[in-house]
């Protein structure tokens, strides 16, 4: 059964509330009024229960709520890293985008972005099946530095650093979103250039630097064929979102 957008928004609210508080329920007055119509559909399919003005996520509903949040955060990542959408528009457009990502398309987007672990706001992106099979995926527009080939060039898309100290170290090196970056070698350490400065890091650090590839001469024949199709798909999505 296909869920209405309002029902999906309720599931998303419940998942985020659980992330923030550890509780899998919400008082109904904390659910946006415009979304409350979706509760009835969720009750019918047993994704939530409604008792004494409390909306509670069920075990049956958890994977669906997880998937809604995954699609929303992947949409934010795509909007930020590929389409260059500013923060003010990002949430609004991502809310529309998540409902356009049919099952399977979200995995294509995830693979395209290099299986990101967090959204632009630092919230975790629940992994999908594609993340377990990522070594078998095709070309990407965003990839960890550790998976680039020597000579590949791009710009830093974002940094995934769970530890504050690691993030501070990277930013002190000038590794900031938008900075041009080129990988020089990948063994025994990862040597790369940020503008005129050269750095060497271990694999763990290299895995935390996500790069948006912008070096057309380094793409293979398959990618040369696939890129126009991919850009066309992204362009159509952008038009539907009012970004172009």
Dihedral, CA atoms, 22, 133, 105, 25, nearest 10 degrees?
A: -10
Residue environment code for 55-82, b if the CB has 16+ CB neighbours within 10 A, otherwise e: bebbeebbebbbbbbbbbbbbbbbbbbb
pLDDT digits (tens, 9 = 90+) for 158-181: 888 777 788 788 888 888 888 899
Nearest of 128, 22, 26 to residue 69 by alpha carbon: 128
Residue 149 has what DSSP assignment?
P
Per-chain mean pLDDT for the chain = 80
Query: Do 85 and 203 sit in the same domain of this protein?
Result: no
Contact yes or no for 102/71 (Cβ under 8 A): no
- Using CA atoms, how far apart are residues 77 and 217, in angstroms rounded to an integer? 25
Query: Do 79 and 114 sit in the same domain of this protein?
Result: yes
Query: Do 71 and 90 sit in the same domain of this protein?
Result: yes
Nearest of 166, 162, 144, 169 to residue 154 by alpha carbon: 144
Q: What are phi and psi of 156, to 5 degrees?
A: -60, 120
Query: Do 213 and 224 sit in the same domain of this protein?
Result: no
Query: Do 234 and 114 sit in the same domain of this protein?
Result: yes
Name the domain count of the chain. 3
User: Counting beta carbons within 10 angstroms of the beta carbon of residue 221, is it exposed (0 to 12), middle (13 to 18) or buried (19 or more)?
Assistant: exposed
Query: Do 23 and 131 sit in the same domain of this protein?
Result: no
Query: Do 224 and 235 sit in the same domain of this protein?
Result: yes
pTM: 0.66
Query: Do 48 and 72 sit in the same domain of this protein?
Result: no
Query: Do 122 and 187 sit in the same domain of this protein?
Result: no
Looking at the predicted structure, is the pLDDT value of residue 25 above 80?
Answer: yes
- Using CA atoms, how far apart are residues 124 and 74, in angstroms rounded to an integer? 10
pLDDT digits (tens, 9 = 90+) for 91-115: 565 566 555 566 567 887 888 788 8
Question: How does residue 44 score in pLDDT terms, banded at 50, 70 and 90?
Answer: very high
The whole domain housing 109 covers 65-139+220-240
What CATH number is given to the structural domain containing 150?
2.30.30.90
Neighbour tally for 99: CB within 10 Å: 16
Query: Do 113 and 179 sit in the same domain of this protein?
Result: no
Looking at the predicted structure, is the pLDDT value of residue 124 above 60?
Answer: yes
């Amino acid at each position: 059964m296909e869920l209405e957008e309002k029902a999906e928004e309720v599931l998303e609210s419940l998942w985020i509330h659980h992330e923030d508080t550890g509780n899998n329920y919400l008082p109904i007055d904390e659910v946006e009024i415009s979304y409350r119509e979706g509760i009835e559909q969720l009750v019918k399919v047993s994704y939530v229960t409604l008792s004494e003005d409390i909306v509670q996520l069920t075990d049956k509903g958890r994977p669906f709520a997880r998937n809604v949040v995954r699609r929303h955060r992947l949409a934010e990542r795509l909007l930020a890293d590929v389409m260059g959408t500013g923060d003010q528009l990002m949430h609004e457009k991502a809310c529309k985008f998540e409902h356009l990502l049919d099952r399977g398309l979200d995995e294509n987007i995830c693979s395209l972005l290099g299986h990101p672990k967090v959204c632009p706001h630092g919230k975790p992106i629940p992994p999908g099946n594609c993340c377990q099979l990522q070594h078998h995926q095709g070309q990407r527009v965003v990839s960890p530095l550790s998976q680039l080939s020597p000579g590949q060039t791009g710009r830093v898309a974002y940094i995934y650093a769970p530890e504050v100290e690691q993030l501070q170290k990277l930013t002190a090196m000038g590794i900031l979103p938008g900075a041009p970056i080129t990988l020089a070698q990948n063994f025994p350490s990862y040597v790369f250039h940020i503008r005129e400065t050269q750095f060497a890091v271990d694999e763990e650090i290299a895995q935390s630097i996500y790069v948006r590839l912008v070096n057309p001469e380094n793409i293979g024949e398959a990618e040369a064929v696939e890129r126009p199709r991919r850009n066309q798909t992204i362009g159509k999505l952008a038009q539907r979102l009012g970004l172009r």
